[in-house]
C-alpha cells in the first residue's frame, strides 16, 4: 500500500523589520503518520523545525520576542493547515482527544 504524502506550502506575511525571511514555508507529512501518538509527535516536531528554519534568528534581528512570535505564528499556521484533531490536541496540550487505531477492522 502506498503512503499518501501531503505537502503544505503556505505563503506568509509577517511584519518584521527585516526582509531576510522567506515568503513561504513548506512541510510534508503522511496521512498515516496522523494515526498514532508517535506519528503525531513526529509531525509536530517537523512543524516546529520548519518554523525555526523559516523565521529570522536572533542574530539577524536582535529581538527574542519577534523570533519567538514568528515561530509561534508559523507553528499555529501549519497546525491549522494540517487541520487534524489529534495534532491540534497535541499542540494545545489537550489530551481529551484519543488516537483511533489505524488497523481496526
For Cα atoms 28, 90, 87, give the angle at the middle one, nearest 5 degrees: 35
The reported pLDDT for the residue numbered 97 is 61
pTM score? 0.70
User: Residue 86 and residue 96: Cα distance in Å, rounded?
Assistant: 9
pLDDT in tens, 61-84: 888 999 999 999 999 999 999 999
CB 24 within 8 Å of CB 12: yes
- Half-sphere exposure (CA, 13 Å, Cβ side) for 79? 23
| Percent of the chain topping pLDDT 90 | 54
User: Residue 23 and residue 14: Cα distance in Å, rounded?
Assistant: 9
Q: Where are the domains of the chain?
A: 5-92
The reported pLDDT for the residue numbered 83 is 94
Amino acid at each position: 500500500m502506498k503512503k499518501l504524502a501531503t505537502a503544505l506550502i503556505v505563503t506568509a506575511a509577517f511584519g518584521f523589520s527585516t526582509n531576510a525571511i522567506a515568503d513561504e514555508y513548506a512541510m510534508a507529512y503522511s496521512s498515516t503518520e496522523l494515526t498514532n501518538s508517535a506519528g503525531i509527535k513526529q509531525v509536530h516536531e517537523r512543524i516546529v523545525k520548519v518554523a525555526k528554519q523559516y523565521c529570522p534568528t536572533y542574530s539577524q534581528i536582535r529581538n527574542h520576542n519577534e523570533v519567538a512570535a514568528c515561530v509561534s505564528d508559523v507553528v499555529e499556521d501549519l497546525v491549522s493547515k494540517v487541520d487534524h484533531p489529534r495534532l491540534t490536541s497535541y499542540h494545545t496540550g489537550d489530551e481529551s482527544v484519543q488516537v483511533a487505531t489505524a488497523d481496526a477492522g
